[in-house]
Amino acid sequence: MNLEKVVFAFFIVLALTLNFGFFVGEIHNPEHHNVYELYAALIVSLIATVMKFGDRTHMGAVLLATSLVADLQLIVAAIVWGWATNINGDGLTEPIMVSIASLSGGALLANITSVVLLVIETVQIRR
């Protein structure tokens, strides 16, 4: 068993599950979306992205692209959350929470794509 591949897959799946955990709930209700889970999803996603830089295959390029999309959407979601709670006078309103959760949903789709590609790559290696 290749420990590097285990760690690589671990971070890809962890990024997906953390993002899913943040996304699930009523989209407009801030009580259903934990800010720490958003930041954890962002940090793990960034770690997974860094781990994808070494792969020079076509599949590696697509995996990196999906990771960059997830990172961008989670970064914007974190910025919006920070702006809403620290700068915006109205605080974390329902429309702002919907935007944050929607950005997280986009990142979730990118992470799902990444996991599907990882599974496809794993199946191809076995043959």
Q: Which residues of the chain have pLDDT under 70?
A: 126-127
- How many whole angstroms separate alpha carbon 95 and alpha carbon 111? 24
pLDDT in tens, 45-56: 999 999 988 778
* Domain of residue 17, residue span: 3-126
- How many whole angstroms separate alpha carbon 126 and alpha carbon 71? 30
pLDDT of res. 81 = 95
pLDDT in tens, 78-94: 999 999 999 888 888 99
Nearest to 115 by CA among 10, 32, 31, 3: 10
pLDDT of res. 54 = 77
- How many whole angstroms separate alpha carbon 29 and alpha carbon 92? 10
Contact between residue 104 and residue 2 where contact means Cβ atoms under 8 Å apart: no
- SS3 of 61-78: HHHHHHHHHHHHHHHHHH
- How many whole angstroms separate alpha carbon 112 and alpha carbon 95? 25
How many domains is the chain partitioned into structurally?
1
